[in-house]
A and B are shown apart, each in its own frame.
Chain A
Amino acid sequence: MNIPQTAAEFKDLVDLQSIPLVYLIPAIFISALALPYFATSYFFINTAIYVLLFVGLGQSWNIIGGYAGQISLGHAVMFATGAYTTATLFIYYGITPYLGLIVAGLLAAAVGLTLGALTFRLRYHYFSIATLAATLGIYVIFLQWDWIGGAVGLEYPIAQIGDSLSLMFDSREMYFYVMWAFALGTTVLVYRLHTSKLGIYLKAIDIDQELAENAGISAFWYKMYAMGLSSFIAGIGGGLFAQYVLYVEPRILLELIRNVEFVLIPVVGGLGTVLGPVVGAAIYIFTREYTRTLLGGTQTGLSWVIFGTILLLISMYRPSGLIRRRPVIGGRKQNTQSSAAPARSEADDD
Chain B
Amino acid sequence: MIGLAYGLVAAGLGLIWGVMDIVNFAHGEHMLIAMYVTLLTTAELSVSPLLLLPVNAVLMFAVGYATYVVIIKRTMDGPVLGQVLCTFGLLLAIRYGIIYLVGPSTRTVSDFAFDGSTNAYGISISYPAVLTAIVSVVTIVLLYLLLEQTSIGKAIRATAQDKQAAQVLGIETDRIYAVSWGIGLAATGVAGTMIATYFPIQPNSTPGVWTIASFAAVALGGLGSIVGAVVGGIVIGLVQNLGATLLDPSYQQLYVYIVLIAALLYQREGILNWVSDR
A residues sitting closer than 8 Å to B (CB atoms) are 69, 71, 118-119, 121-122, 124-126, 128-130, 132-134, 136-137, 140-141, 144, 256, 260, 263, 267, 271, 299-305, 307-317, 319-320, 349-350
Contacts and interface: CB of A to CB of B under 8 A. Distances in A.
5 contacts: A134-B257, A263-B88, A312-B86, A312-B90, A315-B86
A133 B89 contact: no
Contacts of A124: 80, 84
A133 B212 contact: yes
B79 A319 contact: yes
Interface of B: 22-23, 71, 74-75, 78-86, 88-97, 99-100, 103-104, 208, 212, 215, 219, 250-251, 253-254, 257-258, 260-261, 264-265, 267
B265 A121 contact: yes
Contacts of B82: 315-316, 319
A260 B100 contact: no
A75 B90 CA distance: 20
B234 to A, nearest CB: 20
Given A136-B212, A312-B86, A315-B83, A302 B96 contact: yes
Contacts of B104: 300-301
A349 B79 CA distance: 6
A305 B75 contact: no
Nearest to A69: B81
Contacts of B95: 301, 304, 308
A263 B84 CA distance: 11
A329 B253 CA distance: 44
Nearest to B86: A315
Given A300-B99, A304-B96, A308-B93, A130 B261 contact: yes
A69 B82 CA distance: 12
A126 B267 contact: yes
Contact of B100 (A121, A299, A317): A299
Contact of A305 (B86, B97, B253, B264): B97
A105 to B, nearest CB: 25
B92 A308 contact: yes
Contacts of B264: 119, 122, 126, 129-130
Which of the listed residues B81, B92, B96, B215 has the most CB atoms from chain A within 10 Å of its own CB? B81
Contact of B254 (A141, A267, A311): A141
Contacts of B260: 129-130, 133
Contacts of A263: 85, 88
B193 to A, nearest CB: 24
A129 B95 CA distance: 19
Given A121-B265, A312-B90, A319-B82, A133 B96 contact: no
B160 to A, nearest CB: 16
Contacts of B83: 125, 315
Contacts of B89: 307-315
Contact of B79 (A122, A140, A350): A350
Contacts of A317: 74
A260 B96 contact: no
Contacts of B22: 125
Given A122-B267, A301-B99, A349-B79, 4 more contacts: A122-B265, A271-B81, A308-B88, A315-B74
Given A122-B265, A316-B86, A140 B253 contact: yes
Contact of B78 (A71, A125, A267, A349): A349
B261 A316 contact: no
A235 to B, nearest CB: 22
B277 to A, nearest CB: 14
B74 A316 contact: yes
Given A137-B254, A314-B85, A315-B86, A118 B265 contact: yes
A71 B258 CA distance: 20
Given A118-B261, A308-B92, A350 B251 contact: no
Contacts of A313: 89
